[in-house]
Structure 1
Amino acid sequence: MDVFPAEKNQALPAEETDKDDDEDGVDLCRICRSPETPDNPLRYPCACRGSIKYVHQQCLLLWLNRRGFKQCEVCGISYSFVPVYSENAPQKLPWHEFLIGLLLRAIRVVVWGFVILFNAYCYSLHPWGREVAIENQRVFRVSEKFAFLLAGCIYSGFIGYVMAVMVLLRFIVDHLFGLYLVNGLGLGVVARFGVVLWKYMGILSDWWHDHLIRFRLFHAIMVGPGEVVILPRNARLHEFGAIRSFLFFLDDNSFAVLAISFCVSFFFVLLPFFMGKLVLALLLLFQRMEVAMQLLSGYSLGQEPVTVGYMTMLSLSFAYLGSFVTPSRNSIQTIARRLSLGFLLVAVAPPFLLWILAVKVWKNLSVVKDGFILCLKIGVLPLALGCWLDFCTLPIFGTRISKRLELLSNYPIIMIIHWAFGQICLMLAFNSMELIQKLVKKRLFWFLLDVTDPNYTITKLHIRQILFALVFHGSMMVIVVHLPIMTIFLISPSFFPIQFWIYDERIMFGSMAAYVFLVKLGPIEWLAELIKQAVEPIVHKWIITISSWLKLSEFLLENHADQNVRPLQNLDEWFLMYSIAEGSVVCFHGSQSDTNFEEDIGDNRFILRIGVILVLAALSMFLISTISMVFPILMGRVFFHSISFIIPFELKYDDLYGFWIGCYILRAIYIGTCFVFNHIMIGRTDLLLNLVLLWIRNALLFSIWISVIPALLGILIDLMIIIPLQVPLNEPPVYSFLRDWLIGLVVLHIWTYLTMFTRINCFATVGWREKLERIRNVGINWLPFTWLLQDVICSIMITLSTTLGFPFLVAYSLLPCLGVSVAVNLAVQRLIWPVLLAIIILGFVAKLTLDLFVYIHRVEYNDRYMVGDRVTDFTEDLE
């Protein structure tokens, strides 16, 4: 019962609530519709006015906890809360309280490190853990200890998965069976131990449940149709008793993580490991090791202590359960009678069940037939199209049919990918048919299946329709995919296969991260929207032009030659599913019968012209597909090759990234050309001139930003870090300005990204954060050129030049005048920049340490003396 009065009041009309307010003349809470009281005053935390201006703080907190919003749903103003401290709170913590709080937090951090090491150690005892560590050591080329540490991190993820399963299991038991299963376990000491274990694991699962409800995926799995939100369970960690009291210095999160790691590791690894070691030791003690090993080594892990422990635990469990069903002497006759009755039932039951099954199948033969037809339409048809598409694209990846068949035989689950690609092809065909049917007359589709017909049923097997869909889509894939690939291969055999970073094991981890980053950028949605806007007018113009050339406008377009396209009737989701199930080659215009069609096809020239338009359509699709494959990939490869001349190391290009880069470059060229041409045609040369000047200004600033500033920054990094580490003092350094520029460019843009687009504020001052925030919010086109040049570009250049020039003047001008020796002078010239870097790092570390101490002081102060928080009024925020 968690019903809020606000939900009831939401159903009331706004006029009635306003009328009540006007009659009473008293300000009311917009949630509970009650006036303020001395101990519960009304607040106005947002910009809303009228009857929804005021709210009680408790009502607002309940509403926020239920709905999950951090801001007002009406005006969008974020709510602001200020902490409320006790009356005896000092201005700052005493030094001994602060040191105790600092020590406790340090212990909590140490506990998290101990958990990771403990998990890594436990997983190293398991054979799976050793296999994972060996694989990590082979792939990432790291040391053995670091490989086991990575395996421990994977094992920690497995623990999280186990706890998620526990949460789901407890949810099912509590909601479906209640406490029946738990109460039914009172069978002995082992059962009582299971009840206690279930109790404490339930507490830990409650804690994990409260952390999982922050994720949307958990809500999608656990929230039912009638539920609004999942309420936290507030894990009762204090019921651990003496263990929790002993570890009083840990907070709830650290204690729960430690308890979960120990419990899972104990029952999954440690207990089986020690039981296996004990069993193997006993077998060795009785000198039956060889016989026992032959019995235990039925598979490769038979001699592992963990595996032996699993077998021992399973045997003990069966022995314990078998003790409850051990027969006594008096019940032997009863058991014999029951066994004979059982044999009789086994002899009579199969024929009877077969007869019932045959009758059911005969009565529901239509259901079986309908299911077979649906599987054929929804499963087999997309799968066949996906496999054919895979066959057409084999030359792109340089794969042979034998290897692909071998891969499918080893991993049949890959056929799901083929089915998904077949569904995508059907969706594209549906969109194409929908676009064409907007332009041409409906009588052209007389031979297609009409899913809008009232007599249509999806469970009817339309063999001709399925065969036509297979032939049509197969031929379209050959025209659009296979023939362009083979043409490109014949013209340039080195163009295929395409290259991917993921095929290089050295950068496999980085390439996967790069592909995830590419997916987050959303280029597929961008390309889909771009194609969707461009395809419809192109197809429209093509059909009108070709129809007019071949004198088919009257037959094809009728009154649509003037480019007025009629709207297509809106189809619901069922018609969409029907069309995809029928191969997406269907009609949406009702009856297709037309008496004039036979008269139209009576002329032989008409058939010839229809054939010509089909050939021209196939040729157009072939050319467009070939150009769409070649140009983006070629532009991307040219881009990568141009970069390879600049960077000092070899860069292996990736055709997936090259395709998207080529698409962006071609789109930018097309938009720029159209923009200039349109402004010249309409006579707005003055506006075009202003834009050209703006582009020149931005190009000048951008050139300085990517040339001068990275060069100065790279030289500074070279003098501070690279030369002191790589070049001895008795050898002169060799400067690589190209390498310095590239290093400076990478560091500069990493710093810019961290400062502008993240919450990390330790790498820039407040002034620089304000400048970069202004550039991000206003935009570089709307900012004055003088401000950008003086306050941003020149400021960075002056800072870098001073950092480079002052040590240079000291080392090369001041020290020789003082008469120091040549060796000392060379050492100072080489080490003055590293010393400056050390001073900067010490200052940076000191600042971070001070900020950390201030943060810990504030957190400890709030933990000790904060009694609550108070929502601030909107006027207080404005002030």
Structure 2
Amino acid sequence: MDTAEEADICRVCRSEGTQDKPLYHPCVCTGSIKFIHQECLVQWLKHSRKEYCELCKHRFAFTPIYSPDMPSRLPVQDIFAGLVTSIGTAIRYWFHYTLVAFAWLGVVPLTACRIYKCLFTGSVSSLLTLPLDMLSTENLLADCLQGCFVVTCTLCAFISLVWLREQIVHGGAPLWLEQNQQQPANAAGPPNEAPGQGNGGAENQPMPAPAEPPAENAAAAEAPDLPADPAEEMELDNEDEDDGGAEDVADANNGAQDDMNWNALEWDRAAEELTWERMLGLDGSLVFLEHVFWVVSLNTLFILVFAFCPYHIGHFSVVGLGFEEYVRASHFEGLITTIVGYVLLAITLIVCHGLAALVRFQRSRRLLGVCYIVVKVSLLVVVEIGVFPLICGWWLDICSLEMFDASLKDRELSFESAPGTTMFLHWLVGMVYVFYFASFILLLREVLRPGVLWFLRNLNDPDFNPVQEMIHLPIYRHLRRFILSVVVFGSIVLLMLWLPIRIIKHIFPSFLPYNVMLYSDAPVSELSLELLLLQVVLPALLEQGHTRQWLKGLVRAWTVTAGYLLDLHSYLLGDQEDNENNANQQANNNNQQARNNAIPVVGEGLHAAHQAILQQGGPVGFQPYHRPMKFPLRIVLLILFMCVTLLLASLVCLTLPVFTGRWLMSFWTGSAKIHELYTAACGLYVCWLSIRAITVLLAWMPQGRRVILLKIQEWTLMIMKTLIVAVLLAGVIPLLLGLLFELVIVAPLRVPLDQTPLFYPWQDWALGVLHAKIIAAITLMGPQWWLKTVIEQVYANGIRNIDLHFIIRKLAAPVIAVLLLSLCIPYVIAVGIVPLLGVTMEMQNLVQRRIYPFLLMVVFLMGILSFQIRQFKRLYEHIKNDKYLVGQRLVNYERKAGKASASTHSSSVQE
């Protein structure tokens, strides 16, 4: 044995090869890691759960070793036995999954719906007939759908309760709930937030008036070592007392904490063992039947506790107070009655909590307090997410009635005809308004000096937790914030919608109302309108990142202008040099700094107090600024200037895009009335292109005329290429795709054989755009094939690096060829070949109308047949391996055509 053979060792166990355990070189790697034992590789593959080498990325290959007595072809009886076994296994799995689907999609929702109806029927007979109602076959589908909604609500309620418990455990409960019960003064205090002021709790820390700017508290900077808030001073005074009494109340607190954290390790271990497959029954076991029983029981319990009891409490109260007619007139009797029940339940919990505190029932007091927190947070969530956007949506609608030539009577009639849909649409509009308002506030925070918007919550703050605020802050604070938000949002709607509409009607009487009704002379339908807007215009506008940058630049320019006009530049944007000077002055003379009207670097005001409560740390910092003379007057002038600017901006946004769109659309449609979504979208697009062109030209100006001409030439060429690609990909392909869909699906279903189908190219193109986007999305999410590769390459190149030759040759030409063949071949067969066979006119008409769906069915059947053939080949290999496979042998890597590339990889691995 020479030295070369002695050097061949396994890369894993570092031992040489033997006759029983030979060495293999299964991948591109060379040198000391070239060889490996098959047993070592198999063991490593089991641990790493990979099928390729981690260094060279080459996939390992194994060749099967069959028994010597294996025939060249499997006997028919072996194939039949394997087929029967596979069919039996498939039937067993089919029965099991059918049982799973029947349990989760049938029994659970149907039981929830029938129990829900039984509880809310209000009669004893419904309870007696509940077992028979469970087996009833009436309205199965409707009850299952309604039951799915009920189950979803109960599961969401359960998850919310668990999450709220985690918030209380990790974020801390209110101090009025955790107060020392051995102190009579604290124990005698009432339990709710308002009496909790005597407890010095976090809910009742004195807050500075929101109207006071942070600069009013400049005296706090003179003594930075002292607490800036009286509540903080109170907490510091009581800190030693709390620490001294900690051992005395340890048992009581630990008992309460045990209730909140019972068996945490056991629950974690159970959660690790329980998987989704095991819970739902997808692992083949029948353990899921127990889970079905518990889900049904949980649904029943939650319906009884969270729906039945509050509803009947509210119902009896509404009937007793004589408000039944008013509640019934709202068309939402059940929802309003349930909310009233929750409000009364919260009041009852407050009273019971106070009584338990008086008689010193520790566990009862804590349980009632936690229940009150749950009800309180639930009601606040309903108000914040449901009521507030609904108010904003209705206020937007009321203020914009004149813009659409509508009246309150029209809105009342629409509400009477469809109350649920009307309320949902108004809630959706309100949510969109609130969302964009919050987005604009976030943009303002990026421009303005930190501390200017001290009275608004910072949604980007990672420590901001609205649920903790709902838990800790008292009800009157939330009520005050809600009223302030309604006033602010409502005033902005008046300023930016109602007042501009009045001005437009006074200056341009014929401009309003907007045309939002489709008339018979409109050249398009509502479907194509919505598809064009959603699939073409809005993505083109929203996918551009320039819009936000432009808006941010406008806000910054306005802020700089207003700052210099009103001498508020330091207040609005800050001044780094002034900050450094102020820091030096503070080190030298704090009194002189106070006379210079510099604000403290520690935060004051509502926002800082909120963060102090939630973070349990120091208050939020502010960037210092200079306070000019007559500061309140300048702030008032700043607000007036802001209102005038918003009014002018709203006037421009309401008139310019629509006017531009109407003027451009008039060249196409003449005097016909066009839906304003068309005109507004067209105008917005033209305005966006104009602004984009102006900004690009301004950016090119410093580079000289020659560079500008070269840039214009490049952009002209790029625009021409983009137009050609747009015509092919956004024009021809969607039109052919929509026409094919019309011939294959729509026309055979909607048009009888004795009528002639009519085709509308505009609608076919609009549907084709939608289908093309769906097909592209499915292709990008699917496996790798030539169309996905081409689309990904086109996306990667982008518009600036657009490759016209590649797009036409690899994407447009093949797709258009396939679509044209799909359209032309059936037409040639039906019109050119079938009449030559001498069939009747009725048969020719039948063939012409049904050949497209017939060929689609043929292609579908061929696909199924191809799939079944592949499955049979897999079954054949499976039967052969089960009966005659005795082992596997590792395959050595052989350098063939790709020797050069393989050597390159191996050399890199050696290095």
TM-score after normalising by structure 1: 0.48
TM-score after normalising by structure 2: 0.47
